[in-house]
Structure 1
Amino acid sequence: MSKIVQPIGQKRLTNVAVVRLKKHGIRFEIACYKNKVLSWRSGVEKDLDEVLQSQTVYSNVSKGILAKSKDLIAAFGTDDQSKICLEILDKGELQVAGKERESQLSNQFRDIATIVMQKTINSETNRPYTISMIERLMHEIHFAVDPNSSSKKQALEVIRELQKHFPIKRSPMRVRLTLPRQNSSSLMEQLNAWNASIVSKDESGSQLSITCELEPGLYRDCDALLRSLQGRLEILAVSVHAEGDTSVDHYDDHEDVPPHQPKAPADAVQQLSERIEKQTLSTGNANVEGDVKQIKCSTCNAYVGDSKQYRDHFKSEWHKHNLKRKTRQLPPLTAEECLADMETDDSKSDLKDYSF
C-alpha cells in the first residue's frame, strides 16, 4: 500500500486582504485583515497589529510561499520584514475580489455623482439637477471611475467634461464683501468684469458691505482683491441654488415622476435634513403612541422606531456620522447636532476647491 505524504512546509492563509507590491521585477505580498488596509491609510487605524495578520513578507500569500532574504535585500536594501511590511502597506496595491471591486466602484460612482449634484446647477434655469439625472449624464459621457483617485477630484473633472455637452455650470457662492467706501469703485469695476450678481448693498458709516454671488473659481482672486483694498471677505453660502428643481424635458423623459412634482430638494443640506427627520423620533423617549415598540440605537443613544425604521436608520447619514465619532471615542450627537456638524465639515472641505 502506497504511503500518502502530507505537505508540512506551507502555511496557507485564507480570508485575508492581500497587499501586493512589485519591485525590481519581483512580486512581494503581505497578509492583512479585511477592511483594515483603507483604515490604516486614512489614519483611522493606528495599531499595526490590527492591520497585519503577520509581519511576514510573502512571494505568494495564498500558497504560503515566503519571500527570499536575498530578494528582499535586492529590492528594499534590507531584510527587516517589519520595515518592508510598512512600505508595502503604504505603497502596495490592495487586491480585492471581483464582486467587492464592483461594489467599491459602484459606491464611488455614486459619491462622485452626489458631489457633482451639490456643486452644479442647470445654466439655463439656475436650478440643481437630481442625482439620477447626474448619473445618467455621467453614463452618457462614458465616465469610468478611477479607484486610485479621490472622489472630489474626479467630480471636478466630470463637471468640466459635462460642460462640453450639457447646460451645466458650477453653482455660485454667496459672499459678503466689506471694505472702506472710498475703495468701492475698484471693487465694483472688478465685480462687473467677473459678471458677479449683486444681491444687496449696505452702507454703515465709512464702511460699505456688498452681498453678491460669484463663481467659486474666483474666490481666491476676490479674497486677494479685498485684502489689497483693506477689506475682508465672508462666505455666506458655498452653493446657491434657485428654488425648486430643474426642468427635465430633455434629460429625464423616462422618469416616473409627474412633471409638476419636485423630485429632490434644492439644496443638499436640506435633502440630508429631510432624510434625518424621516428617520428620527424623539431621542431619549421610549414611550410611543399606540402599541408600537421602539428599538434603541446604542451608537446614536436614541430610539429610532420599529424594526423596519431601525434597519433604515443604519443607512442614515446620522448613524454613519455617529459611527465615525464612536471610532474616535467621541460622544454621539443628536440629529440636529449631526446636521450642523456635517454642514460645517462640508463648508470647510469645499474651501479647498475654489482654485478650480
Structure 2
Amino acid sequence: MPVGIKTPSNQIKLTNLALVRMKKGKKRFEVACYKNKIQDWKNKIETDIDNVIQLEGVFINVNKGEKASKADLEKAWPGMKNKEIVEDILEHGEYQVGEKERSAELERIKNEVINIVASKLVEPKSKRVYTTGLIEKSLDQLSQQTSVQQQGDKANGASAEDGDDKEKALPKWRGVVATKDAKSQANHAIKCLMAHQPIPVTRIQMRLRIVCPTAVTKQAVKSTGKPAEKGKKGKAAADEEQQALKSVKDTILSYIEKVETDETEGAEWEAVGLVEPGSYKSLNEFIETHTKGRGRVEVLDQSVGVDV
C-alpha cells in the first residue's frame, strides 16, 4: 500500500443497502436494511425482521460504523427495547429508493388496483366482468382526460371558475401513486369509473336469500330505504308522509336491485335477489332488528357476474 494512504478500519462496505433514517430531537438515527426487503416489510409481505436488517442495532452513521449510544436511544425512545426501536424506525423512518425499485413498486400497486377494480365491476346488462386490460385502458383514458382538463383550466385562468359545477363535482382520476395503499386507490378508481362511465359499468352484486315469518313482513315500520336514498331532497312533504311508513316486506324489497323470486309458503315469506354489497350490512341489521332474530339473510353468491 502506498505511503500516506490509510483505509479507516471502522468503515463498513455493504451491498444491496438501503438506509432507513429517522430524526429524533437533534440527532439522526439509521438502520441498515436489504434494499429488496424494506419495501416488503412496509407492505407487510415480509414479517421476519431478521430478513430485513443487514446490521443489528441502531446507528448514527452506518457507513462509518458509528452506533448510537444507549443514552441517546433511551433519550429518544424512553423505556423501549432495541428491537422495538428498530421496528419504529422501519415503520416511520424515511428511506431512499432507486429508480428501478420505485418503478417496480409502482407497477405492483397499479396491478393490485386494477385487479381489485376488475373484481368489483361488471357490464350492467350482461353482468359480465371486464378484463383487467380493459379496466386499465379505461383508467388511462380518465387520467388523460383529467390531465387535459387541468391544462385547459390553467390556460383559461380565472375563467375556469365559471365552468360546469356538476362536472367539477365529479371525482377525478389522476393515476396510481406509490404513496397510497392499493385498496383506497381502487375504491377511488371505482367511483371515477362509475361517475364518468368511459365503459358501461356497475358494481358487482351479491345474490341473497331472505326468509321472514309472514306475520312480521306485514308489520309497519318507519323506513328510510337504501343508504343511497337517504338525504334525497325535493320531495313534497305529502309524499314523505305517505312513504314514512312501509311494511317490513316492502322495506326489505327496497334494498334489492333485482328480485328473482318472491314467494310465500305457509308461515314463511322468501325472496331471492341481487343486492349491492354496500347495502348488505344495512339490510342484515334491519332484518335482525325488526324480526327479533326470526328472519335471516343467506349469501348464495358473493359476486354475481359471468367471466369473459
- TM bin (shorter chain): 0.5 to 0.7
Aligned to 1:160: 191
1: distance between equivalents of 2:123 and 2:23?
46
- Counterpart amino acid of residue 85 in structure 2: I
Deviations 1:73-132 (A, max 9, x none): 543346964442122123334543211121121121011111101101234654332211
1:163-202 → structure 2 map (5 Å cutoff): 163-166=194-197, 167-185=200-218, 186-194=247-255, 196-202=257-263
1:273-284 → structure 2 map (5 Å cutoff): none
- Structure 1 residue 240 corresponds to structure 2 residue 304: yes
Q: 1:56 to 1:135 in 2, by over 3 A?
A: same
2: distance between equivalents of 1:39 and 1:107?
11
Q: 1:18 to 1:236 in 2, by over 3 A?
A: farther
SS for the counterpart of 1:201 is strand
Aligned to 2:106: 105
Aligned to 1:339: none
Deviations 1:286-319 (A, max 9, x none): xxxxxxxxxxxxxxxxxxxxxxxxxxxxxxxxxx
1: distance between equivalents of 2:80 and 2:117?
47
Q: Which of 182, 205, 217 is the equivalent residue of 1:151?
A: 182
Aligned length: 244
Aligned to 2:12: 11
- Structure 1 residue 223 corresponds to structure 2 residue 284: yes
Cα pair 2:120 2:204 within 8 Å, conserved = yes
- Counterpart amino acid of residue 303 in structure 2: S
Cα pair 1:13 1:64 within 8 Å, conserved = no
Cα pair 2:10 2:64 within 8 Å, conserved = no
1:327-346 → structure 2 map (5 Å cutoff): none
Q: 1:62 to 1:98 in 2, by over 3 A?
A: farther
Cα pair 2:256 2:274 within 8 Å, conserved = no
Of 181-190 and 218-227, deviating more is 181-190
Cα pair 2:206 2:304 within 8 Å, conserved = yes
SS for the counterpart of 1:164 is helix
Q: 1:220 to 1:25 in 2, by over 3 A?
A: farther
Using CA pairs under 8 Å that are at least 6 residues apart, name the structure with larger relative contact order, 1 or 2.
Answer: 2
Instruction: Tell me the TM-score normalised to structure 2 length.
Output: 0.67
Cα pair 2:21 2:28 within 8 Å, conserved = yes
1: distance between equivalents of 2:266 and 2:94?
62
1: distance between equivalents of 2:48 and 2:141?
44
Aligned to 2:157: none
Aligned to 2:34: 33
Deviations 1:234-283 (A, max 9, x none): 11122212x5xxxxxxxxxxxxxxxxxxxxx34xxxxxxxxxxxxxxxxx
The CA deviation at 1:224 is: 0.7
Q: Percent identity?
A: 32
Give the structure with the larger strand fraction: 2
2: distance between equivalents of 1:13 and 1:169?
52
Deviations 1:156-199 (A, max 9, x none): 11111222211422111111111112223434312443352111
SS for the counterpart of 2:185 is helix
Cα pair 2:211 2:270 within 8 Å, conserved = yes
Q: 1:174 to 1:187 in 2, by over 3 A?
A: farther
SS for the counterpart of 2:16 is coil
- Counterpart amino acid of residue 149 in structure 1: K
Question: Is there any run of 5+ residues in structure 1 with no aligned partner, and where?
Answer: 244-264, 267-356
SS for the counterpart of 1:217 is helix
Q: 1:201 to 1:54 in 2, by over 3 A?
A: same
Q: 1:226 to 1:129 in 2, by over 3 A?
A: same
2: distance between equivalents of 1:187 and 1:132?
44
CA RMSD, Structure 1 to Structure 2 (Å): 3.0
1: distance between equivalents of 2:215 and 2:273?
19
2: distance between equivalents of 1:220 and 1:81?
44
Q: 1:133 to 1:187 in 2, by over 3 A?
A: farther
1: distance between equivalents of 2:64 and 2:124?
57
Cα pair 1:198 1:210 within 8 Å, conserved = yes
1:52-131 → structure 2 map (5 Å cutoff): 52-62=53-63, 64-67=65-68, 71-77=72-78, 81-123=82-124, 126-131=127-132
1: distance between equivalents of 2:130 and 2:89?
42
Deviations 1:199-218 (A, max 9, x none): 12344432222111011110
Bigger Rg over Cα: 2
SS for the counterpart of 1:127 is coil
